[in-house]
Amino acid sequence: MKSASLRRLSSMAVLALLLVAFSPCRAQGPASAAPPESALSIPAGYLMQPEELNRLLQGKAAGKPLVLQVGSHLLFAEAHIPGSEYAGAGSQPAGLKQLQERVASLSKKSFIVLYCGCCPWNRCPNVGLAFKQMRDQGFTNVKVLYIADNFGADWANKGFPVEHGR
């Protein structure tokens, strides 16, 4: 009896581990448990890779998104994606207000890409809150540029175009 119980318990433990390992929630990564201010709270389906955004920006004007930088103004002035606009730091109430004012007159279906690039993704204080605000305002076509390390490493150093100033 004891060995049968141990085998059953062992089988259940293995099954539980397999369920956790292959669960759809786990496939989304830490987003489901991350606080809304974290970049990790943004579901993978709303992320855009730098290569994809660069391709879009090289294409026809009709398909280009509005690109808004929601990090520090100092970072934006130093280097930013050509054509992007500074929309306020997403981690600050004044920055979120600036973002809200910038998009107030736009259609809720507008294609918008948010980005920061201040620091590694898992420590970015800006994009999570900015993304949440856009979704809360009813914007349905918002993406966030996934910048794993920082703007220099994941955009500029890859040879993608950069503007300076403003």
Q: How is domain 34-158 classified at the CATH fold level?
A: Oxidized Rhodanese; domain 1 (3.40.250)
Q: Write the pLDDT tens digit of every residue in 20-74.
A: 333 332 233 344 466 767 899 999 999 999 999 999 999 887 889 999 999 999 9
In whole angstroms, give the CA distance from residue 160 to residue 154: 9
Domain boundaries, the chain: 1-28, 34-158
Length of the chain: 166
- The angle at the Cα of 55, spanning 49 to 58, to the nearest 5 degrees, equals 140
- DSSP designation for 107: -
pTM of the model: 0.78
